[in-house]
A and B are shown apart, each in its own frame.
Chain A
């Protein structure tokens, strides 16, 4: 019983999870125009992709958005987590504790819609942001990515030996100095994995971006989605394969960093 059950169950689980992705990767090398009919191996769709200005442009927008929103989210999320773990009493602490994770559970449609309304009313009353475009997408992605980073940073700060910070204080460093000399270097691996997670989340997002973007700032998922609505074309498979590659590497790197830190037992 034990001999075969476990391997078979694991295999079925893997098939369930990854068969769709594998078939997509396989069909991205399909020579045929028809997506579901195998016509021999070819990389022609990858070539076609490289010449598709719309897709290359959207990919560039997505990467820029992901880079900036992940970076902003890491800064904001880390500060939030630091305040929550190291300052025991301040006004609004309870509210912040509860609200910092709210974007994680909020339906994307609601986040997107509410941000859109906010941007419009800000434009009317403050004159900024002027119209919608890359800036509004970056702001929108930063809000929900910051929540993810905050959760990761918070758990790292909690598990960190607080006497490290006390030791630095004791040796003559002021509070700001302690943060940059000790706290930040110690939690950096967690922040890197938080940044990678934020980056992939931003890269993946379709719903929120659709609400808050404007002309000329379509992200990659938006372009793919609009292409697929007109029928699945093989070059989308090729594109999806490349994205899977990116995400796979990022997730692997994040996991490796986390594990490395765990094994150090810091």
Chain B
């Protein structure tokens, strides 16, 4: 375990008395009779790389556009560094945005695009272009400064857009699907590049994405959105290991859910009675009463597969491999239990030349009670 004092320094959200840098309070946005964002509260700390994650139409882009100033909130406050910005137009906010389409000015050279914001600030020409040049060096595009945007590749355009958004040293940088238009290989490289730039400049980032892998890689914390509401805010591992609802557990990664009623609670163990699998042992959760409906959520990689019956007497089932997908570093299984229930499990392939479990083989699957997350919502 790391020293808690150090952890709190790099993770200010863990400190109860830390002052948030951006504070969104009771934010609501309605379009006619449609509520895009309903009552969002969000605190973001200086230097964070915060990801808003959700499917399209969940309100994440509207929330971002309200932070940038392109949409006026119906209700609520947006505090940036202590000042309420909810009704300040975008050109007077200390924020900059990187657009999904990059929105590079087609009639200006790369250099002019990047210098544009500085010139609007009233900086003398020579200084503006010098700073634009530094920024282009940072994104490794100094050689293409005189090109027009239509003479660049997708990855290069993305970097110009990033340089243009960062050159004014905004207090807050908003990124709308920053890697969405790149192909997979380039996207993975660019993720780490983005983190490097963010850390070296110390600018606070808010990234909107629908890609959970991207959010998990980039973020210090993730806010999972659905229907205009933030369902859960937490560090990536927290969201993955301790989701607070069935929606979040299913949205981030793959999950197996067991529905049942609380049967017996011991200090270190809890038993639920499920219709499909009989009794299942889960870790105990305070505040539950006997007979209450709960869900046990377990990730595919937490299952153990074996050809021989395991020693444990609980949480053990028999099934047949219905389908498998060999990914390389791991294999994903779909296992049909005797009662017809489908389980998704995965095993990492640590050894070469193993004798792998194959199609239609009968197997035993088991799982530790502690691997479950108990959900009530």
Residues in chain A within 8 A of chain B (CB atoms): 161, 163-164, 166-174, 177, 181-182, 185-186, 264, 266
> B105 and A172: CB pair below 8 A?
no
Size band of the B side of the interface? 20 to 34
> B150 and A163: CB pair below 8 A?
no
Query: Apart from A171-B116, A181-B116, A264-B150, what are 16 other A-B pairs with CB-CB below 8 Å?
Result: A163-B101, A167-B99, A167-B164, A169-B90, A169-B91, A170-B91, A170-B95, A170-B97, A171-B91, A171-B117, A171-B168, A173-B120, A182-B105, A186-B105, A186-B106, A266-B106
Residues in chain B within 8 A of chain A (CB atoms): 68-70, 89-91, 95-97, 99-101, 103-107, 116-117, 120-121, 150, 164-165, 168
Expressed in whole angstroms, the Cα–Cα distance for A35 and B116 within the complex equals: 63
> A166 and B91: CB pair below 8 A?
no
Given A166-B70, A171-B168, CB of A186 within 8 Å of CB of B120: no
Specify which chain B residues have a CB less than 8 angstroms from the CB of A166 in the assembled complex. 68, 70, 90, 97, 99, 103
B70's nearest neighbour on chain A, judged by CB, is A166
> A173 and B91: CB pair below 8 A?
yes
Shortest beta-carbon distance, A259 to chain B, in Å?
16
Shortest beta-carbon distance, A190 to chain B, in Å?
13
Specify which chain B residues have a CB less than 8 angstroms from the CB of A172 in the assembled complex. 91, 117, 120-121, 168
Given A163-B99, A177-B120, A264-B150, CB of A170 within 8 Å of CB of B105: no
A171's nearest neighbour on chain B, judged by CB, is B117
> B150 and A170: CB pair below 8 A?
no
Given A167-B97, A169-B90, A170-B96, CB of A161 within 8 Å of CB of B103: yes
Expressed in whole angstroms, the Cα–Cα distance for A167 and B117 within the complex equals: 10
Specify which chain B residues have a CB less than 8 angstroms from the CB of A264 in the assembled complex. 106, 150
Contact of B105 among A168, A169, A174, A177 (CB under 8 A): A168
A164's nearest neighbour on chain B, judged by CB, is B103
18 sampled A-B residue pairs with Cβ under 8 A: A161-B101, A166-B90, A167-B104, A167-B105, A168-B105, A168-B116, A169-B89, A170-B69, A170-B95, A171-B116, A172-B91, A172-B117, A173-B91, A182-B105, A185-B105, A185-B107, A186-B106, A186-B107
Expressed in whole angstroms, the Cα–Cα distance for A171 and B164 within the complex equals: 8
Specify which chain A residues have a CB less than 8 angstroms from the CB of B91 in the assembled complex. 169-174
Shortest beta-carbon distance, B210 to chain A, in Å?
18
Shortest beta-carbon distance, A183 to chain B, in Å?
11
Specify which chain B residues have a CB less than 8 angstroms from the CB of A185 in the assembled complex. 105, 107
Given A186-B106, A186-B107, CB of A170 within 8 Å of CB of B101: no
Expressed in whole angstroms, the Cα–Cα distance for A67 and B89 within the complex equals: 40
Expressed in whole angstroms, the Cα–Cα distance for A115 and B120 within the complex equals: 46
Shortest beta-carbon distance, A188 to chain B, in Å?
8
B92's nearest neighbour on chain A, judged by CB, is A172
